[in-house]
Amino acid sequence: MKLYIPMDSAAKALGADDVAEAVRREAEARDLDVTIIRTGTRGMIWLEPLVEIDRGNGREAFGPVTSKDVPALLDGTLDGHGPVENIPFFARQTRLTFARCGVIDPLDLADYEKHGGLVGLRRAIDLSSAEIVAEVTDSGLRGRGGAGFPTGIKWKTVMEAEAPQKYIVCNADEGDSGTFADRMIMEGDPFTLIEGMVIAGLGVGATKGYVYLRSEYPDAIAVMNEAIRIARDKGALGEDILGSKRSFDMEVRVGAGAYVCGEETSLLNSLEGKRGVVRAKPPLPALEGFLGRPTVVNNVISLATIPVIFERGAQHYADFGMGRSRGTVTLQIAGNVARGGLFETAFGITLGEVVNDLGGGTRSGQPVKAVQVGGPLGAYIPVANFDAPLGYEELDARGGLLGHAGLTVFDDSVDMLKMARFAMEFCAVESCGKCTPCRIGSVRGVETIDRIARGDADAIPLLTDLCETMTDGSLCALGGFTPFPVMSALNHFPDDFATQKEAAE
Amino acid sequence: MPQTTSIPTDAEIDAILAEHKHREGPLLPMLHALQAEFGYIPTAAIARISHLLNMTKAEVHGVVSFYHDFRERPAGHHVVKICRAEACQAVGGDALAEETLAKLGLDWHATTPNGALTVEPVYCLGMCACGPAAMVDDKVVGRLDAARMARILTEAGA
């Protein structure tokens, strides 16, 4: 019998290693022939550790499993969920980027190939650079890191630039609270990111790649490093890739705890060994990026989606989605939510469906008050706007920001003034210091919100004015978007900004 | 967490730097390697790096001090990083952090008097669907509550 137990760090944080150890001991005591395969997570974090057993007629899921459940699990008396594919949260998904995550052993290249891996790369090898770039453009893929810039256009700029050396840089500095898709794919299906980067290299003429991976993700760092080593050993990376006479090599670079390094120009400075301060644009990184060379900087999910686009064709991918948001979005349902996890689906699902139907409301059982969409720089959206469809332009029209598609749910105990203050405080802690609106504005923002908290109503127009200055005058999204959470909190939840005043009166 | 009682020599520092000198953008890998070995970035390393990479000492110090990860003195034997980000706040992470600091009588970044434990804030561990979360050395713990945190502190010898 085969047991599939996740080695994803969220599953481990909830006891997956203990369960694996208990299975090993129990199987040994019973003299059972058990193979334990460590996988990524299926993304249903509320069911983790989620164990799947295959007794010869398909995988059946159980979870959350504790060490104490292991004897019953092996006896076959533990209540389960049946096949994972039948769990409603999973059944409703369209898994393209995450098709293999949680299914395969992340470090088994043969298993990766058995599940469609390297098909895309083999196809790309037979295409010209221009054809590769056109395929990405036709797929409609837009940067999944938050900005939503068309990936094909970025690649075309780098392809057309002439330089002795070009680079592919993967932005794996996933610092936004409420997001974990990058971590999940790197821990659960690292070869798909590697394959995507190789295809990018072939497309734009780059031979060297870097994954800038945040230090807060030690498990992802270990898995990526091992996957790169294996891919190189087996000829899928390095010299003469899959016998094509083409080369591309890559390595992981570990960040050092600076949130602003998720901004692409700051990331490039950090990669060069400098302080992670933002660069003015232009020049675009596509023309003058890492070490002044033309550089593709793409998010993990953008690059990890490339293989499936080449495997199934651009049109297949573009057929999903709505408007100018094509393909699938990897929603991350987080915070105070009953069923949290990763949900990959075509663009266009509404916020209400995600939070109430899929997420099952709050974990605490209290009513939902707000959902922050798009990380610490995203707006707080009130329940009244839950009919908003999740697409880049669609959310923008409602004063929101899809960003990296993280959704953080809050129940009615949340104090929105406190969250607005936190947004300013976070900006002050993480500001790179280069531009004044962000560096000074965030500090003044904390002070101004404290004045409002003390009942000073005159400080409210001051805060609005300050936010306008930060939006218009900041060099990057850190100072420029911090007003999103602050102003959305103020506009949608004015009562939270008035209580102190009323009490004082 | 590696600990050294003696001050690292230039030769020890140079040996580590030499392993990374050939890389493109070698400074961050060097600093990570130094901290992995000594537990902090020794003051002497600033001059060695400055010499090796043809940077001013001020520039090197600027890089070291820019990043939250790099320490200029050793931490406690164990480091507990408690997530302060929004998703963990939504499930009581801020209250848990405050209780923990109050219980230890510490502020953020401080170390217990016996040197056992340093407490630091962290902004997101990617455990946003199973918070509140913390990282104990390199191990992540999810769905923390006061009892679990108390066990972590006891095990760390705080």
Dump pLDDT digits (tens) for B98-145.
999 999 999 999 999 999 999 999 999 999 999 999 999 999 999 999
pLDDT of B4 over the 60 cut: no
pLDDT of A463 over the 80 cut: yes
Q: Is residue A104 part of a domain?
A: no
* Domain limits for position A444: 416-504
Q: b/e string for A294-316 if b means 16 or more Cβ within 10 A? A: bbbbbbbbbbbbbbbbbbbbbee
CATH number at residue A243: 3.40.50.11540
The beta-carbon neighbor of A14 closest among B29, B32, B142 is B142
pLDDT of A201 over the 80 cut: yes
pLDDT in the model for residue A310: 98
Q: Is residue A298 part of a domain?
A: yes
pLDDT of B1 over the 70 cut: no
Q: Is residue A70 part of a domain?
A: yes
Q: To the nearest whole percent, how much of chain B has pLDDT over 70? A: 97
ipTM, two decimals, is: 0.96
pLDDT in the model for residue B77: 96
**A299, A356: one domain:** no
Q: Do B143 and A14 touch (CB under 8 A)?
A: yes
**A288, A199: one domain:** yes
**A80, A126: one domain:** no
pLDDT of A505 over the 70 cut: no
Average pLDDT over every residue of B21-25: 97
3-state secondary structure of A128: coil
| DSSP-assigned letters across all residues of A421-451 | HHHHHHHHHH--SSSHHHHHHHHHHHHHHHH
Q: Do A414 and B90 touch (CB under 8 A)?
A: yes
Nearest to A419 by CA among A496, A367, A481: A496
Enumerate chain B positions whose Cβ falls within 8 A of a Cβ in A.
Answer: 24-29, 31-32, 53, 62-63, 66-70, 81, 85-91, 122-131, 133, 135, 138-143
pLDDT of A447 over the 60 cut: yes
Q: How many angstroms separate the Cα of A173 from the Cα of each of A71, A238, A256, B110?
A: 40, 24, 10, 26
Can you tell me the distance from the alpha carbon of A447 to that of A493, in angstroms, rounded to the nearest whole number?
A: 19
Q: Do A274 and B70 touch (CB under 8 A)?
A: no
**A203, A224: one domain:** yes
Of the three residues A35, A64, A91, the one that is the final residue of a domain is: A91
Q: Is residue A97 part of a domain?
A: no
**A156, A271: one domain:** yes
Average pLDDT over every residue of A386-411: 92
pLDDT-derived band of residue A499, with 50, 70 and 90 as boundaries? low
Q: Do B141 and A13 touch (CB under 8 A)?
A: yes
Q: Do A273 and B25 touch (CB under 8 A)?
A: yes
pLDDT by residue (tens digit) across A347-393? 999 999 999 999 999 999 999 999 999 999 999 999 999 999 999 99
**A366, A386: one domain:** yes
* CATH numbers and ranges of domains, chain B: 10-66 (no CATH), 78-155 (3.40.30.10)
Can you tell me the distance from the alpha carbon of B84 to that of B98, in angstroms, rounded to the nearest whole number?
A: 10
Q: b/e string for A218-256 if b means 16 or more Cβ within 10 A? A: bbbbebbbebbebbbeeebbbeebeebeeebbbebbbbb
Instruction: Spell out which residues of chain B touch residue A14, defining contact as CB-CB under 8 Å.
Output: 130, 142-143
pLDDT by residue (tens digit) across A105-145? 999 999 999 999 999 999 999 999 999 999 999 999 999 99
Q: Select from B56, B66, B88 the residue whose CB has the most chain A CBs within 10 Å, as the one to mutate to test that interface.
A: B66
pLDDT in the model for residue A205: 98
Instruction: Spell out which residues of chain A touch residue B81, defining contact as CB-CB under 8 Å.
Output: 216
**A468, A488: one domain:** yes
The beta-carbon neighbor of B86 closest among A273, A333, A408 is A408
Q: Is residue A98 part of a domain?
A: no
pLDDT by residue (tens digit) across A203-242? 999 999 999 999 999 999 999 999 999 999 999 999 999 9
As separate numbers, helices (DSSP H) first and strands (DSSP E) second, chain B gives 7, 4
Of the three residues A91, A119, A134, the one that is the final residue of a domain is: A91
Q: To the nearest whole percent, how much of chain A has pLDDT over 90? A: 95
Q: Are B147 and B140 in contact (CB under 8 A)?
A: no
pLDDT-derived band of residue A502, with 50, 70 and 90 as boundaries? low
Can you tell me the distance from the alpha carbon of A294 to that of A246, in angstroms, rounded to the nearest whole number?
A: 19
**A147, A291: one domain:** yes
Q: Are B94 and B143 in contact (CB under 8 A)?
A: no
pLDDT of A501 over the 60 cut: no
CATH number at residue A82: 3.40.30.10
pLDDT by residue (tens digit) across A64-107? 999 999 999 999 999 999 999 999 999 999 999 999 999 999 99
pTM: 0.96
**A83, A222: one domain:** no
Q: Do A218 and B133 touch (CB under 8 A)?
A: no
pLDDT in the model for residue B6: 72
**A308, A255: one domain:** yes
pLDDT in the model for residue A111: 97
pLDDT of A500 over the 70 cut: no
Number of domains in chain A: 4
Q: Is residue A254 part of a domain?
A: yes
pLDDT-derived band of residue A413, with 50, 70 and 90 as boundaries? very high
**A141, A260: one domain:** yes
**A126, A268: one domain:** yes
Average pLDDT over every residue of B12-34: 97
pLDDT, chain A, mean: 96
Of the three residues A63, A91, A119, the one that is the final residue of a domain is: A91
Q: Is residue A127 part of a domain?
A: yes
Instruction: Spell out which residues of chain B touch residue A274, defining contact as CB-CB under 8 Å.
Output: 27, 63
pLDDT in the model for residue B5: 55
Which tokens in the block code for residue A43?
């993304």
pLDDT of A472 over the 90 cut: yes
pLDDT by residue (tens digit) across A10-58? 999 999 999 999 999 999 999 999 999 999 999 999 999 999 999 999 9
Q: Select from A408, A432, A484, A488 the residue whose CB has the most chain B CBs within 10 Å, as the one to mutate to test that interface.
A: A408
Q: Do A10 and B127 touch (CB under 8 A)?
A: yes
Q: Is residue A173 part of a domain?
A: yes
pLDDT by residue (tens digit) across A420-442? 999 999 999 999 999 999 999 99
Average pLDDT over every residue of B5-9: 80
Can you tell me the distance from the alpha carbon of A491 to that of A312, in angstroms, rounded to the nearest whole number?
A: 45
